[in-house]
Structure 1
Amino acid sequence: MDTRWLEDFLLLAETGSFTRSAELRHLTQPAFSRRIKSLESWLGADLIDRTTWPTQLTPAGELLRDKARVLVGELSSARSQVRALQAADAATLTLAVPHTLSFGFVPRWLAEEHEAVSEISWRLLAHNVHDAVVALAEGNADLMLCYHHPRHPVELPAERYQALVLGSETLRPFTRQLPDGTAEWQLPGEERLPIPFLAYGPNAYFHRMVELILQRSPEPAALQRCFETDMAEGLKAMVLEGHGMAFLPHSAVQRELAAGQLALAGDDNWSLQMEIRVYRDARRELPALDALWQRLAQRYPAV
């Protein structure tokens, strides 16, 4: 049983709204509803009376609410005590980051910021963007790196979370480079011979970014979806083996471009730029975190 289910249930009992509770937990409503159903399945009882409106608890739900408040409170207290025992290890910071940033950006960034981070030991949590945000919001990470685009922002309350812009990333279409130096495929492609399209899964942040590129492109792209994964590194490997075209972050393909293995499959009309941001919870007080943030704030613009 996931203890987050209890926290979800207590929030639902307080708000009486699946929609509002999902927003506060930074989840989609279907995902939040699945968590409540999972808790009900684990208990073997219905907690929500789904025959009434607004949302009300069943007798089993009323009983669990009282028990869960005590249990969640005790777990929170225990976590605080355990973390207090680790005060001597205060120079270790946990960084939650999307998989793509963990491969390329994070190693380079830590090297560039060596002076600022030299006394810090890092614990890296590689997630998708959603889970990285949850790790920060639930106190399981000290810092969170992610992409930001105005059309699909990561919505964290400014009164609680501070953010700095560390740089930018460009998503571009790439395909294998042929022996003559040209790209194997070129957008927009032709209807009679569509481009084999290596795509991101619907849960990937880059899936939304690619949709934006295709929606605002000057002409429709002739694409035939033939492969899907959430991982940019997985798509890059498929491109290198000649399976088709994929939209990849430019920083992830610099070596392959220099080696003549990959080529651009479209001009700037088929690209999109995002910010790379770092977030912290302003309420989280750790000497190492405070000192690091003060140094970073001198170098990078605040949001």
Structure 2
Amino acid sequence: MAPVPVADGGEDAVDIKQLKALVTVAEAGSVTRAAELLHLVQPAVTRQIRTLEQELGVVLFERIRQGMRPTEAGAVMVDRARRALNELERARAEVQPTPGVVTGVVTVGLLESATDLLAEPLVSAIAREQPGIELRLMTAYSGYLQQWLDDGDLDVTLMYNLASTPSLNAHRLVGERLWAVAQAADGLRPEQPISFSEAAGHPLVMPTAGHALRSLIDSAAARAGVDMDVVVQTNSMRVQKQLVLAGYGWTILPGVGIAEDVARGSLSAAPLCEPDVRRSIVLGTQRSGRTPPAVEVVAREITRQVRLAVRDGRWPSAEWQANSGAAGDE
């Protein structure tokens, strides 16, 4: 498709309404649905997209059978527009605060393995103590969370086995062991560690190659001098557990990710030994720029919730590693 001609005059400029229309159409997949979400008539949304295309001199969407799909240029604009709108929303909350109340939008990254343990207590605590803060929770494996933090899509996140870098600060919170996980009938017991070589003697359901957790497991296999029989790879911890339940093999996961499953008897698990396989959980924040008060508040609350989970025994085989003066100490 040929480029859309640039409008004459040079007076037009991208405005907030156009950015909102762009992002909403991309997320909704159609102009009709976007118009409903924006409480506008469909021609108004179409006009905003066309005007933006004229100002940029590129086509932003292509029509497909299912609706509208961003072009390559459109995808770049959608990504940038989404970040610009998020920053504007955050700035508006910061410059128009209620006296004595911390306000703002904070996007939090949670490790998939720790989501069930931390998400509800964190949301509850912030809603109770800091109702002016709007939380947005994102869950994923550590590698994705680090990338999102580097890209500015997250304000604060939990990650593991990561030191501070030029672009982010990493504060160590917890050290924990990895566990062999099997069907309940296999009878693994938390108080009886199992050697890595014994666990590797079973067919294994593993994280996908290149993932940080998989790299940690591969390193342990090399130290133990064993070859793993990997029958399935997946990028989802929940799928790992489902496949173990279905009898496809054993898996290896952090204790926090299987605590509830073991407690209700759907799975059995034991910490690994020979070698002892551990990961360190860190709290990551962006290094550049000013840290908004709302982000500082949420970071302290995440730290507090992690420490409470370790102290109360809800985070299996975890050791609190933050300094005594770290945020969240009681």
Q: Is the 8 A contact 2:207 2:214 kept in 1?
A: yes
Unpaired stretches in structure 2, ≥5 consecutive residues: 1-57, 59-75, 94-102, 308-321
Asked if the contact 2:195–2:274 (Cα under 8 Å) also holds between the matched residues in 1, the reply is: no
Q: Are 1:189 and 1:195, in contact at CA under 8 Å, matched by a contact in 2? A: yes
Deviations 1:167-222 (A, max 9, x none): 2332111111218x458x9863499xx511111111321111111221223xx446
SS of the aligned residue for 1:234 comes to helix
CA distance in 2 between partners of 1:221 and 1:266 (Å): 18
Letter in structure 1 aligned against 2:292? L
Partners of 1:135 and 1:296 lie apart in 2 by 18
> Secondary structure at the residue paired with 1:136?
helix
What SS does the aligned partner of 1:246 have?
A: strand
2:175 paired with 1:171: no
Q: Which residue identity lines up with residue 227 of structure 1 in the other structure?
A: V
**Is the 1:172–1:270 Cα contact (8 Å) retained in structure 2?**
no
Where does 1:38-49 land on structure 2 (aligned, <5 Å)? none
Counterpart in the other structure of 2:293:
287
Residue 168 of structure 1 aligns with an amino acid whose one-letter code is: G
Query: 2:82, 2:269 → 1: CA distance?
Result: 53
Deviations 1:45-85 (A, max 9, x none): xxxxxxxxxxxxxxxxxxxxxxxxxxx9xx97996587235
| TM-score of the aligned structures, taking structure 1 as reference length | 0.58
The Cα shift of 1:229 comes to 0.7
1:93 aligns with 2:100: no
What is aligned with 1:84? 88
Contact kept in structure 2, 1:164 and 1:297, CA below 8 Å: no
Cα distance, 1:86 vs. partner? 4.2
Q: Residue 93 of structure 1: CA displacement?
A: 0.2
The residue matched to 2:290 in structure 1 has which SS?
Answer: coil
* Distance in 2 of aligned mates of 1:177 and 1:145: 30
Give the CA deviation at 1:251.
0.9
Instruction: List aligned pairs for 1:255-266, cutoff 5 A.
Output: 255-264=260-269
| 1:188 maps to 2:175 | no
TM-aligned CA distance change 1:223 to 1:141, over 3 Å: closer
Q: Residue type matched to 1:136 in 2?
A: L
Which consecutive aligned stretches of 4+ in structure 1 deviate over 6 angstroms post-superposition?
Answer: 75-78, 112-116, 294-299
Distance 1:108 1:295, change over 3 A: closer
Checking the alignment, whether the CA contact within 8 Å between 2:181 and 2:270 is kept in structure 1 is: yes
Q: Work out the CA distance in 2 between the residues paired with 1:81 and 1:222.
A: 49
Aligned CA distance change for structure 1 residues 232 and 117 (closer, same or farther; 3 Å): farther
Residue of 122, 147, 155 corresponding to 1:134: 147
Residues 1:107 and 1:262: Cα distance change in structure 2 (over 3 Å) = same
Distance 1:142 1:243, change over 3 A: same
> Hey, what's the Cα distance between the residues in 1 that align with 2:81 and 2:105?
21
Structure 1's unaligned 5+ residue stretches are 1-42, 44-71
Change (3 A) 1:195 1:293: closer
Percent of aligned pairs sharing the same letter: 17
